[in-house]
Structure 1
Amino acid sequence: MAGTNGGRPSIYPTLLYTDAKAAVRQLTEALGFTELALYEGEDGTVMHSELVQGNGAVMVGSKGRGGLFDATMKGAGPCGVYVVVDDVDGHHQRAVDHGVEILMPPTDQDYGSRDYMARDIEGNIWSFGTYAPAIEG
């Protein structure tokens, strides 16, 4: 099957935050991600972190940490990431319990998915739902 890459995701959305530690905390505590790795600079700046959800992952770091990627992302707007979850309503309730801004409550979609949409502490849009199209090669 295409995309298996030895059990590793082949696409990792990468987001930079002004307060990456707070973002990691919100993503893990409120939105159910698991912290796989977190590397900090001497000043506590998050140089790189990896958060997993199911068989996917996202990389998170601090804005202003230096380097080409940081410079290239300067001024970039928020992004949107879709994450597949089994229990949309339970996941949504966890987010609500942690004070996450909900943009759309759990909703049944015409294409068969059940989704909800949230905004994180720095404006990125996260959609969580049951839609998981098969990727075949």
Structure 2
Amino acid sequence: MPDTTSGMTVARPAVCPALLYRDAKAALKQLITAFGFTQSAYYESEDGTVLHAELIHGNGMVMLGSADRAGAFVEAMGSGGPAGIYVVVEDVDAHFARAREHGAEILAEPADQDYGSRDYMARDLEGNVWTFGTYAPSGPETSI
């Protein structure tokens, strides 16, 4: 269902990766400054632990929180990770330049792929692998 609370219609993503970080505040800073995400929600406990944050990139979203707290999700995740996440961007080279400028660990520089995409790979501060590229999966013909 679209969110119309801000006066504009925004389609809510149907799939949202959820990541846990030992230092969630540092992760938020890197994802925003180096990778161009926009923070849309942030909740923390009285002691400063990140309980839940939502970051938007295009029409996609990533949720994250601190790994050092209690709860069913944290327990189920255990020491899971790192994860690999793909993000569609329009200008791979500009995105790459921003990430490199902000000190992201680059695993593969921008390159044209046989399947028509141009992409690059970077690792965040806690080992998750992020691929940014022009390939945009078509998805289902209709959404539920």
Range class of TM-score, shorter chain: over 0.9
Residue number among 92, 103, 109 corresponding to 1:105 in the alignment: 109
The 2-side partners of 1:40 and 1:133 are apart by: 34
Instruction: Return 5+ residue gaps in structure 1 as ranges.
Output: none
| Greater relative contact order (Cα < 8 A, sep 6+) | 1
1:28 aligns with 2:28: no
Name the SS for the 2:111 alignment partner: strand
The residue aligned with 2:51 is 47
Query: 1:64: Cα distance to partner?
Result: 1.6
Aligned to 1:125: 129
CA distance in 2, matches of 1:122, 1:64: 14
Unaligned runs of 5+ in 2: 3-10
The correspondence for 1:14, drawn from 11, 18, 21, is 18
Q: What percent identity do the matched residue pairs reach? A: 62
Question: Do structure 1's residue 37 and structure 2's residue 51 form an aligned pair?
Answer: no
Scaled by the length of structure 1, the TM-score of the pair is 0.95
Q: How far off its partner does 1:119 sit?
A: 0.3
- Paired positions, count: 133
Q: Distance in 2 between matches of 1:63 and 1:36?
A: 20
**2: distance between equivalents of 1:43 and 1:13?**
25
Runs of 4+ residues deviating >2 angstroms? none
Q: Over the residues paired in the alignment, what is the CA RMSD in angstroms?
A: 0.8
Give the deviation of 1:77 after TM superposition: 2.1
Q: Distance in 1 between matches of 2:109 and 2:95?
A: 11
